[in-house]
């Protein structure tokens, strides 16, 4: 009996288990009711009385040793391998990928933040508008091409209800209800009936600015434009103004910035001119002020407007406008650092 106990003790000392299945098999073999230690306990009844105390003590020690060995193996099986990384216990149960802000939202916020530092406040208006606020109040002629169905989405043509083609309609609504001084920026989505391609879309986004007060001059406008360009594209950015025409401003101009890719030396992006157009601007036409109930003999003002997609293209060199509205996560994840 003592010889069997010694053999079994030696076997238990050498036990190994690589997984929970092997461990359970060892537990059943040695510690179950039909296991080898239980069999020795049954044989204990045949031991002579003078040896019962010694053998009984040895059997108890053997059972304790087997239990301790099984527990030791259980800890080693449950413990992760040293090469495995310890998981982050603060993470959620599912590995959710955190979203990011859309590149157009990032650029819109940056534009608004720059102009807000100059005292402009944000104004918003409806996307479904009427002819007066989109065209007539802004000095558009009755036969202006923008009023054609080929250029504008009309919701109710007979009632002249349409999707706004620019956020200037927000400016007219503010001017009708507010007396100068007025200093606002108008971000929002606009719609035009254009064929969708890599360089044009039927909807896009604008930010326009309006400042009306006494003695506002074109020099004030130029200083705002220069400040905006340097803040948006870098301190080395230069600007130039070219004469242009818009029905609601007089004089009107288009602003170019020195190409931020070649530094004004000329490259394919700027068509080797060294300049890239980014926005239109000008002094508010007196007729527009008069239409909105503001006396042009007392007040003057300037307005400027830019496409957010255009600015985003310049900052991130996105070649296809359609990418902004397709919600392709492979494209959007490129702007994670921008948020």
pLDDT digits (tens, 9 = 90+) for 5-17: 788 888 888 888 8
The torsion angle over the Cα atoms of residues 326, 331, 337 and 339, rounded to 10 degrees, is: 0
Instruction: Label residue 227 by pLDDT band (50, 70, 90).
Output: very high
pLDDT of residue 329: 83
Comparison of pLDDT for 201 and 206, the residue scoring more: 206
Compute the average pLDDT of residues 286-305: 95
pLDDT digits (tens, 9 = 90+) for 58-100: 878 888 888 888 888 888 877 655 445 666 677 666 666 667 7
Compute the average pLDDT of residues 175-203: 90
C-alpha–C-alpha distance, residues 131 and 164, integer Å = 9
**Average per-residue pLDDT for the chain:** 86
Most confident of 79-88, 224-233, 262-271: 224-233
Total number of residues shown for the chain = 339
pLDDT of residue 190: 93
Q: What is the pTM of this model?
A: 0.67
pLDDT of residue 29: 84
The torsion angle over the Cα atoms of residues 193, 198, 204 and 210, rounded to 10 degrees, is: -100
Is the pLDDT reported for residue 241 higher than 60? yes
Tokens of 187: 């971000």
Compute the average pLDDT of residues 96-122: 89
Is the pLDDT reported for residue 214 higher than 90? yes
8 Å CB contact between 292 and 137 = yes
Q: Which stretches of the chain are DSSP H helices?
A: 2-13, 20-31, 36-43, 52-78, 103-116, 131-134, 168-177, 218-233, 286-291, 308-316, 329-332
Q: What is the CATH number of domain 103-338?
A: 3.30.930.10
Is the pLDDT reported for residue 4 higher than 60? yes
249-258/203-213 β-pairing = unpaired
Domain boundaries, the chain: 2-78, 103-338
């Amino acid at each position: 009996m003592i010889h069997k106990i010694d053999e079994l003790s030696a076997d238990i000392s050498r036990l190994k288990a690589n997984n929970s299945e092997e461990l359970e098999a060892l537990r059943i073999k040695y510690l179950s009711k039909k296991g080898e230690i239980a069999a020795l306990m049954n044989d204990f009844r045949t031991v002579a009385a003078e040896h019962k105390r010694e053998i009984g003590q040895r059997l108890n020690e053997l059972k304790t040793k087997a239990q301790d060995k099984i527990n030791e193996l259980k800890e080693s099986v449950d413990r992760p391998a040293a090469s495995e990384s310890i998981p982050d216990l603060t993470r959620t149960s599912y590995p959710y990928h955190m979203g990011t802000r859309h590149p157009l939202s990032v650029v819109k916020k940056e534009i608004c933040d720059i102009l807000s530092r100059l005292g402009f406040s944000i104004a918003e208006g409806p996307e479904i508008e009427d002819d007066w606020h989109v065209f007539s109040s802004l000095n558009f002629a009755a036969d202006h091409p923008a009023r054609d169905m080929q250029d504008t989405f009309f919701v109710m043509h007979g009632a002249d209800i349409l999707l706004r083609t620019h956020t200037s309609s927000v400016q007219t609504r503010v001017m009708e209800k507010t007396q100068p001084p007025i200093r606002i920026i108008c971000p929002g989505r606009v719609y035009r009936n254009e064929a969708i391609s890599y360089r044009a879309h039927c909807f896009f986004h604008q930010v326009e600015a309006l400042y009306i007060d006494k003695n506002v001059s074109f020099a004030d406008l130029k200083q705002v434009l220069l400040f905006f360009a340097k803040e948006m594209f870098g301190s080395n950015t230069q600007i130039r103004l070219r004469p242009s025409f818009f029905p609601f401003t007089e004089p009107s101009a288009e602003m170019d910035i020195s190409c931020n890719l070649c530094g004004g030396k000329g490259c394919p992006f700027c068509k080797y001119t060294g300049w890239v157009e980014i926005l239109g601007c000008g002094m508010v036409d007196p007729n527009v002020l008069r239409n909105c109930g503001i006396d042009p003999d007392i007040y003057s003002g300037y307005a400027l407007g830019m496409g957010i997609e255009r600015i985003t293209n310049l900052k991130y060199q996105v070649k296809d406008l359609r990418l902004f509205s397709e919600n392709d996560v492979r494209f959007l994840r490129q702007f994670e650092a921008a948020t």
